[in-house]
Amino acid sequence: MENFTVASSDLHSQMTNKHVYDGFGAGGENVSPHLKWINAPEGTKSFLVTCYDPDAPTVSGWWHWCVFNVPADINEFKAGISEYPDGCGHGLNDYNSTGYDGACPPPGDPSHAYHFTVYALSTERMELPDGTQPAMIMFNANAHILAKATITSYYAR
């Protein structure tokens, strides 16, 4: 069996201005990256897609994106996705909005790692409302994770 993997046509080891936040002086385009995942394990009933920065200057890192209840027959998000498949839920990111908001490390910080992770889940739905905090989404997902695949990009300003 092949490994569950995620790849991107526009996200590379060093993040470009395209995926950087457009506020707090960062001046980016704030476009979510293209993500495509393959070889989900048998029994996958849905996916959870996240972007998380563990290097943020907080005690809990920084959530940039969290989409749950992605149907099992979906295996790709186009760059700049704004219309998600029916049934998807959207977690509240740490900018206090739902949807993707890009990298924005403090000026002068060393490069931050941005982990884009797709989780294959054994449940079709998590009964959570839009705007749920990612920590609660991850708590609910934890018992259902069959596999995860991550692509990491770095950014500093």
Buried b / exposed e across 39-77, counting CB within 10 Å, b at 16+? ebeeebbbbbbbbbbebbeeeebbbbbbbbbbbeeebeb
Does position 1 have pLDDT exceeding 80, yes or no? no
Could you report the per-residue pLDDT of 2-28, keeping only the tens digit for each? Answer: 899 999 999 999 999 999 999 999 999
52-56 mean pLDDT: 97
62-87 mean pLDDT: 97
Could you report the per-residue pLDDT of 138-150, keeping only the tens digit for each? Answer: 999 999 999 999 9
Q: Is the pTM of this model over 0.95?
A: yes
For residue 2, the model assigns a pLDDT of 80
For residue 118, the model assigns a pLDDT of 98
For residue 41, the model assigns a pLDDT of 97
Domain, as residue range, for 78:
5-155
Q: Report the mean per-residue pLDDT for the chain.
A: 97
CATH code of the domain covering residue 76: 3.90.280.10
CA distance 1 to 152: 24
Instruction: Provide the number of structural domains found in the chain.
Output: 1
